């Protein structure tokens, strides 16, 4: 079939060949029709998209702009595929020029993809975030003792050292609590990892790959942390289940170069 130079292939996920049906799926692109490009025992879900469809102006990079619409369409296809069989989601807006290029991706990643698909079988991703509650943030030390009198230099330095020591002790306790939660929940997961997104308020942003048989125990353990951490001013947020975005990364240059 003659390649339309105005079209490229948008990539969603790698699956085992003949493991999923995609005829009813619509994703990115004017038609959005999803189809499978196969090679050996693997396939990659793609749709045809105009080259200029992914040229998004800066003003469209917002919560309600075209990037958000692209992300939702991408995720909807990946979720529909993952509901049927293990899948390796690809990064948002990954494209190649034609079907032959998609086949080359499958060729390069074949052995690793097969191993990862076996590893992901029966698993889903769950996210856990630990967040500082604003009301419990430690106030900065002041220069007076509450009576309005300015302290002497010696008194000020002593109080400053005490404040710094107290702050460091609080941070050490927080780090200890965070590590305890990370490893405790990890006992119920096949894999775990830290995700980007830590900030002044988010002290842990973790992802867990959990077998379906262990999900009830994992969620119960996460729920037990809610009450345990509340007195320390830490909120526990659990999200999911998700396709295993955090555990599907494939090494090599094929997709990076795409």
Per residue in 106-150, pLDDT (tens digit) is 999 999 999 999 999 999 999 999 998 865 454 444 445 555 556
How does residue 24 score in pLDDT terms, banded at 50, 70 and 90?
very high
pLDDT score recorded for residue 55: 72
Percentage above 90 pLDDT, the chain: 54
pLDDT value of residue 62? 56
Q: Name the residue with tokens 């595929």.
A: 81
**246 or 159: which carries more pLDDT confidence?**
246
Out of 16-20, 171-175, 228-232, least confident range: 171-175
Of 96, 6, 8, which Cα lies nearest the Cα of 48? Answer: 8
Q: Is residue 8 scored above 60 in pLDDT?
A: yes
Helices (H) and strands (E) in the chain, counts: 5, 9
pLDDT tens sequence across 52-72: 777 765 655 556 677 888 889
- Lowest-pLDDT range of 59-73, 87-101, 221-235: 59-73
Lowest mean pLDDT across 47-51, 63-67, 250-254: 250-254
SS3 173: helix
SS3 content of the chain, % helix, strand, coil (to 5): 45, 25, 35
**CA angle centred on 22, ends 256 and 42, rounded to 5°:** 50
Taking Cα atoms as reference points, which of 174, 191, 180, 193 lies closest to residue 221?
Answer: 180
pLDDT more than 70, % of the chain: 78
Predicted pLDDT at 240: 92
- Global pTM reads 0.75
The pLDDT, as a whole number, for residue 20 is 93
**Distance between CA 26 and CA 28 in Å, rounded?**
7
User: Given this model, what pLDDT does residue 48 score?
Assistant: 92
The pLDDT confidence band at residue 1, using thresholds 50, 70 and 90, is: very low
State the pLDDT at residue 45.
96
**How much is the pLDDT for 252?**
58
For residue 103, pLDDT beyond 90 = yes
Of 203 and 219, the structure prediction assigns the larger pLDDT to 219
Residue-level pLDDT at 93: 87
Of residues 126, 130, 256, the one with CA closest to residue 193? 126
Q: Give the separation between CA 43 and CA 228, rounded to whole angstroms.
A: 45
């Amino acid at each position: 079939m003659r390649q339309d130079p105005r079209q490229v292939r948008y990539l969603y996920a790698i699956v085992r060949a003949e493991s999923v049906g995609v005829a009813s799926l619509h994703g990115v692109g004017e038609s959005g029709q999803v189809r499978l490009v196969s090679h050996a025992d693997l396939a990659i879900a793609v749709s045809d998209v105009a080259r200029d469809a992914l040229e998004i102006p800066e003003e469209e990079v917002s919560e309600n702009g075209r990037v958000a619409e692209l992300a939702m369409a991408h995720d909807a296809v990946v979720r529909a595929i993952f509901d049927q069989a293990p899948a390796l989601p690809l990064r948002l807006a990954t494209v190649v020029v034609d079907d032959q290029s998609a086949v080359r991706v499958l060729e390069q990643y074949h052995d690793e993809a097969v191993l990862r698909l076996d590893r992901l079988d029966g698993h889903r991703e769950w996210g856990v975030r630990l967040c500082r509650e604003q009301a419990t943030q430690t106030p900065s030390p002041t220069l007076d003792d509450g009576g309005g009198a300015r302290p002497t230099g010696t008194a000020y330095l002593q109080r400053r050292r005490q404040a710094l020591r107290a702050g460091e002790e609080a941070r050490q306790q927080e780090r200890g609590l965070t590590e305890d939660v990370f490893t405790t929940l990890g006992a119920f997961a096949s894999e775990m990892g830290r995700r980007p997104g830590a900030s002044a308020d988010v002290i842990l942003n973790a992802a867990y790959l959990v077998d379906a048989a262990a999900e009830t125990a994992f969620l119960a353990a996460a729920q037990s942390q809610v009450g345990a951490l509340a007195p320390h001013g830490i909120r526990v947020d659990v999200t999911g289940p998700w396709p295993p975005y955090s555990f599907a990364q494939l090494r090599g240059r094929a997709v990076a170069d795409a």
